[in-house]
Amino acid sequence: MDRKELNRYLPPEYRDFNDWCAHIPKYNSGLTAKIDAFNLPEHPESWSREKLYEIVLWELNRYPQIDDALFAELGRIAGLKRADARKAAPTLKKLLQCRNVGLTMATAILRFINPAVFQTMNRRNFHVVLGSEEEYPDPPAKLTPAFLDRVCDCYFRYLEALRELTGDGFDFEVADRMLYQVDKASGRKLS
């Protein structure tokens, strides 16, 4: 493709490709500015795994947008006891409203912060634990308070049912990993 042919793809409302780029949200995020500013040729000593992971998440368009207040709130989840798991519902609702954070990601975040209380809920794990009772809660196009209430209730019922399944050689702390394997071994295809 030559430049003349390339220019045919430029939307008419933009002066040039730089103007078009300036109007694409992904390329104008705080993360884009941060990774553009790495300047590794001049500061190679600043290369880190954190920078690598930020680049990967940026490219996958999966970098979560979590503000400082919610980040601090997540840190407090580490102190919850099993009996208080439902106290995390407001935090879970906030996570679900963050860009690039779905139910599996939100519950994985909770799980790694406090694995004795929380476990990841994805389609496979859900199917093994609650699949015969109800459908996995797929999000609507626009999240509503009713959906957030429903998904939180579903998640905490999932955790309660999971606790009943674990023990005697099946630790709660690894349950999410093993349920995933059980569902795969069953041969069930994800729909």
Domain count within the chain: 2
190, part of any domain = no
Residues 140 and 169 grouped into a single domain: yes
**Average pLDDT estimate for 4-16:** 90
12 is written with which tokens? 């008419």
The tens digit of pLDDT for each residue in 43-73 reads 999 999 999 999 998 888 888 889 999 999 9
**Average pLDDT estimate for 121-130:** 90
Residues 126 and 53 grouped into a single domain: no
Residues 130 and 51 grouped into a single domain: no
Which of 36, 60, 84 delimits the end of a domain?
Answer: 60
**Average pLDDT estimate for 124-140:** 87
30, part of any domain = yes
80, part of any domain = yes
Residues 130 and 46 grouped into a single domain: no
191, part of any domain = no
Which of 60, 76, 108 delimits the end of a domain?
Answer: 60
Residue 120 burial (CB < 10 Å; 0-12/13-18/19+)?
buried
**Contact, 100 vs 64, CB < 8 A?**
yes
Residues 41 and 80 grouped into a single domain: no
Q: Which domain holds residue 8?
A: 3-60
Residues 47 and 91 grouped into a single domain: no
Residues 16 and 82 grouped into a single domain: no
pLDDT at 191: 66
CA gyration radius for the chain?
21
Residues 138 and 157 grouped into a single domain: yes
Q: Please give the model's pTM, rounded to 2 decimal places.
A: 0.81
178, part of any domain = yes
Residues 14 and 32 grouped into a single domain: yes
**Contact, 162 vs 129, CB < 8 A?**
yes
How far apart (Å, rounded) are the C-alpha atoms in residues 72 and 75?
Answer: 5
Which of 20, 40, 60 delimits the end of a domain?
Answer: 60
Residues 141-169 as b/e (b if ≥16 CB within 10 A, e otherwise) read eeeeeebbeebbebbbebbeebeeebeee
Residues 111 and 156 grouped into a single domain: yes
How far apart (Å, rounded) are the C-alpha atoms in residues 81 and 60?
Answer: 34
Residues 25 and 84 grouped into a single domain: no
The mean-pLDDT minimum among 16-20, 120-124, 129-133 falls in 129-133
**Contact, 107 vs 155, CB < 8 A?**
yes
Residues 97 and 172 grouped into a single domain: yes
27, part of any domain = yes
Distance of CA 10 to the CA centre of its chain: 33
